[in-house]
Amino acid sequence: MSYHGDDKFLYALSSNQAWASYKSHQNPALFRNLANEHAPSILWIGCADSRVPETTILGLQPGDVFVHRNFANIISPTDINTAAVIEHAVVNLKVKHVVLCGHSACDGARATLTDSPAGGVLETWLTSLRVVRAQLASELATIQDDRTKEAVIAEKNVEVGMAVLMANSIIREHIKSRGLQVHGCFFDISTGRIRDLGLGTTISVQRAPKAGAANVTVRGQHAQLVFREGGVAGMEAR
């Protein structure tokens, strides 16, 4: 059935009741534990795109992922909103992993393919993405398909954002003091798969896992996301 306008919201409220009942049946202590403790292992910085719901695509549960999303997952060093989320997640919640994830079919990347103004505040927000497009001009000129161009811009945007994250003083301090891991990833909407781009702390830890080294595991209901030594992540069925 298709829902529009307020009907969709009313359906969502009804669906929430069913979801809460189902989760409580699965694990009667779930919501009580969530109310008493906030201890996520991952800070996810992603796009506000409705097709990229981080907890869902990771196969994880409420409480596993602390989230910051904005239009086109742009990391600006002067954005106090992003800075506040990073500080709270890293300093207070002590997450073990920071993940910056871009995605295919990104509306922000699409908006930069032409010189037409995006309008209003969007034009200001997308300035850094237009710089990325300009940097890729030669490569983009050889590509005919717009979807491929969007993906190239979106992936480069992650690389640029990772450089900003790795220059963040709080992140640098916690990488040094407690081994915080920072990952750059890309989500392909057409396949539902996340690809590790090999950025962040991964590039500085290119060594084989030590014998007996402990993995960091974030468990979901049906799968678990395992971060192994060297920054390599993998999804395993439970």
Picking from 182, 191, 161, 197, the residue whose alpha carbon sits closest to that of residue 227 is 182
Query: Is 49 considered catalytic here?
Result: yes
Are residues 85 and 74 in contact, defined by beta-carbon separation less than 8 angstroms? no
Annotated catalytic residue within 32, 51, 178, 195: 51
Question: CB-based burial of residue 207 (10 Å sphere; 0-12 exposed, 13-18 middle, 19+ buried)?
Answer: exposed
Give the C-alpha separation, 108 to 103, whole Å.
Answer: 10
Q: Where in 24-63 does DSSP place strands (E)?
A: 42-47
Asked if 7 is an active-site residue, the reply is no
d(CA 47, CA 216): 25
Q: How many CA atoms lie within 13 A of 29 on its CB side?
A: 3
Q: Examine the residue annotation and report whether 101 is marked as an active-site residue of this protein.
A: no
Active site residue 185: no
Q: Is 47 a catalytic residue?
A: yes
Q: Which of 68, 97, 103, 133 is catalytic?
A: 103
The active-site residue out of 106, 174, 183, 185 is 106
The catalytically annotated residue of 47, 101, 174, 183 is 47
Active site residues: 47, 49, 51, 103, 106
